[in-house]
A and B are shown apart, each in its own frame.
Chain A
Amino acid sequence: MTLSGRFVLLLALGVVPIVLFGPDPAAATGVLVLWLLLVFVLGGLDLALAASPRAVTVERILPARVRLGESVTSELYLTNTGRRRLVGVVRDAWQPSAGAGRNRSRVVVPSGERRLVSLTLTPFRRGERRVEQVTVRSRGPLGLWNRQATLNAPGRIRVLPPFHARKHLPARITRLKELDGRTSVMVRGQGTEFDSLREYVRGDDVRSIDWRATARRNDVMVRTWRPERDRRVVILLDTGRTSAARVDNEPRLDTAFEASLLLAALTSVAGDRVDFLAFDRRVRGRVQGASGAALLSQLVDSMALIDPELIEMDWAAVPGQVRSITSQHALVVVLTSVDAAGASTGLLSVLPQLTKRHTVIVASVLDPATVLAAATRGGRDEIYRAAAAERALLDVARVSAAIRRLGADVVTASPAQLPPALADRYIALKAAGRL
Chain B
Amino acid sequence: MSATLGSPTDAPARLTGAVGGAAGSTTVATPTLRALLGRSSFWLIAAACILATAIVAVVVSGGSQAVGRALAGDNAAPAGSMALVEVLRQQGVTVTLASSLAEVRGSVGTNSTVLLYDENSYLDQSQLRELGDLGARTVVAAPDFLALQALAPAVGFGGVSASDTLAADCFVPAANRAGELSPGGDTLSIPPGGGHPLLTGCFASGTNTFSLVQVQNDRTGGIISLVPDARLFSNEHITDYGNAAFALGLLGPSDSLVWYLPTLADLPRTGPPSLADLTPGWVTPVLVLLILAAAAAAFWRGARFGPLVAENLPVTVKASETMEGRARLYARSNARLRALDALRVGAVQRLALAVGLGRLAHLEEVVGSVAHFTGRTPDDVRRVLVGAIPKSDAQLMAFSDALQALEHATGQAVRAGAAPAARASASDSQELPPPPAERMDS
Contacts and interface: CB of A to CB of B under 8 A. Distances in A.
Interface stretch (A109-117, A285-293, A327-335, A346-354): A109-117
A142 to B, nearest CB: 15
A95 B311 contact: yes
Contacts of B441: 400, 404, 409-412
A367 B319 contact: yes
B314 A2 contact: no
A117 B5 contact: yes
A385 B324 contact: yes
A271 B435 CA distance: 24
Interface in B138-155: none
A21 to B, nearest CB: 9
B3 A252 contact: no
B207 interface: no
B306 A93 contact: yes
Contact of B3 (A2, A8, A119, A421): A119
B393 A380 contact: yes
Q: Chain B: interface residue count, which band?
A: 35 or more
Nearest to B303: A2
Nearest to A6: B300
B289 A35 contact: yes
Contacts of A23: 280-282
A25 B282 CA distance: 6
Interface string B399-442: 01100100000000000000000000000000000011111111
Contact of B282 (A28, A91, A114, A310): A28
A135 B5 contact: no
Contacts of A61: 18-19
The A contact surface, by secondary structure, is: mixed
Contact of B326 (A24, A153, A388): A388
A160 B350 CA distance: 41
A105 B306 contact: no
A381 B323 contact: no
Nearest to A126: B314
Contacts of A133: 29, 306-307
A310 B316 CA distance: 12
A374 B350 CA distance: 12
Contacts of B343: 383, 386-387, 390
A208 interface: no
Given A119-B1, A380-B393, A387-B339, A150 B307 contact: yes
Contacts of A181: none
Interface in A12-40: 12, 14-15, 18-19, 22-29, 31-32, 35-36
Interface in A351-401: 365-367, 369-370, 373-374, 377, 379-381, 383-394, 396-397, 400-401
Given A104-B1, A116-B6, A252-B319, A149 B30 contact: yes
Contacts of A104: 1, 3, 305
Interface in B1-57: 1-6, 8, 11, 14-15, 18-19, 23-30, 32
A113 B338 CA distance: 77
A93 B281 CA distance: 50
A77 B20 CA distance: 12
Given A24-B281, A387-B343, A409-B441, A11 B309 contact: no
B349 A411 contact: no
B35 to A, nearest CB: 12
A311 interface: no
A430 interface: no
A113 B7 CA distance: 11
A163 interface: no
Nearest to B397: A383
Nearest to B338: A387
A31 B285 contact: yes
Interface string A305-338: 0011010000000000000000000000000000
A31 B323 CA distance: 73
Interface residues of A, number: 119
A393 B324 contact: no
B440 A12 contact: no
Interface stretch (B165-173, B291-299, B377-385): B291-299
B388 interface: no
A214 interface: no
Residue with the greatest number of chain A CB neighbours at <10 A, chosen from B4, B5, B15, B323: B323
Interface of B: 1-6, 8, 11, 14-15, 18-19, 23-30, 32, 280-282, 284-286, 288-290, 292-293, 296-297, 299-300, 303, 305-307, 309-311, 314-324, 326-328, 330-331, 338-340, 342-343, 345-346, 349, 359, 393, 396-397, 400-401, 404, 435-442
Leading 6 A-B pairs by shortest Cβ distance: A135-B306, A105-B3, A387-B339, A388-B327, A245-B319, A28-B282
Given A8-B297, A12-B293, A389-B327, 7 more contacts: A23-B280, A77-B14, A104-B3, A116-B14, A380-B331, A392-B323, A410-B441
29 contacts: A3-B296, A8-B297, A11-B296, A28-B281, A31-B282, A54-B30, A54-B32, A61-B18, A91-B305, A101-B1, A102-B1, A106-B5, A110-B8, A132-B309, A148-B30, A149-B28, A150-B28, A153-B26, A244-B314, A245-B321, A308-B315, A367-B319, A383-B339, A383-B397, A385-B323, A385-B324, A412-B439, A413-B437, A421-B437
